Amino acid sequence: MANSKYEYVKSFERCQPDILLPNTWIAIRIDGRGFHKLTAKYAFEKPNDRRALDLMNAAAVAVMKELPDLVLAYGISDEYSFIFHKDCMLFERRAAKLITTVATTFTSYYVHLWPTYFPTCPLTPPMPSFDGRAVMYPSVQNLRDYMSWRQVDCHINNLYNTTFWALIQHGGMDGTTAERELAGTLSKDKNEILFSRFGINYNDEPAIYKKGSVLFRDYELEPPSRSDASPAFAVEGGGDGGLSAPVSKTAKEKERKRRSKATIAVEHVDLIRDEFWVKRPWILSGRAGKLRE
């Protein structure tokens, strides 16, 4: 064939180590690139712009729908984490392919849905883009700690931002003064500032700002069960990368369909305690639950 002379260059592609370790949870995290400028350009509301968050969530819901292998997603600000189950074999677990598929699908919907959420300010170049990375977590505990880390980050950032912008918007400070005011303060100090100076009870703030957004397939909830036996704690959910009861191809296809049909729930709930995981055992088991009627 005419092109054989050059094809040796393909051998260079094998050198990017790319297969993610089997039997590990895969977190793909994407981040808005230079969103500081973007929020200024489109005059996002401070400290939180509800339309911007709704747009992020809508794009993430679309990603979940297009990739039924995803079991969970979590978004805060301009960042989103998408979780593939540890048994997932999509794209043979090739990292570059998983990252770019998630990131470009998200971007595609973000641009497409923009007019729905910002009907009066059309997107113009420079266009939004996102960078992404893949991280592997071997155990359920590691995965839950990752989610907890992000949610704690959400809380810390939002409490800070809420107080910072209250000082500016209601307290008449400039940014530098507000920053100085908050330097070294603890959570309780910020709560106190909000309440005593501005009559804001942080607990009453919308959950979407305080907790971020949790996306999962919406099967029938199960009653919280005997915690010890639950996959949220000890037993690794689902297969174990090889020796679990073999699943037939048709069974797999059925599963896949059931997952595709499930609607994607968007909730603003605690991910740190056990309750979330115990009630929705299908997330860690990777098995589709019972579809809601």
Q: Scan residues 22-41 and list those touching a copy of itself (CB under 8 A).
A: 22-24, 30, 33
Would you say 83 and 71 are in contact if contact means Cβ atoms under 8 Å apart?
yes
Q: Scan residues 246-285 and list those touching a copy of itself (CB under 8 A).
A: none
Check binding of 115 to a copy of itself (CB under 8 A): no
Strand partners, 32: 130
Q: Scan residues 149-178 and list those touching a copy of itself (CB under 8 A).
A: 149, 152-153, 155-156
Q: Which of 90, 123, 173, 264 binds a copy of itself (CB under 8 A)?
A: 123
Q: Which of 36, 45, 46, 96 binds a copy of itself (CB under 8 A)?
A: 96
Check binding of 101 to a copy of itself (CB under 8 A): yes
Q: Scan residues 75-94 and list those touching a copy of itself (CB under 8 A).
A: 86, 91
User: What is the total count of residues that contact a copy of itself (CB under 8 A)?
Assistant: 79
Check binding of 185 to a copy of itself (CB under 8 A): no
Q: Which of 48, 57, 77, 107 binds a copy of itself (CB under 8 A)?
A: 107
- Give me 218's structure tokens: 């919406």
CB of 241 to a copy of itself, least distance (A): 6
CB of 89 to a copy of itself, least distance (A): 10
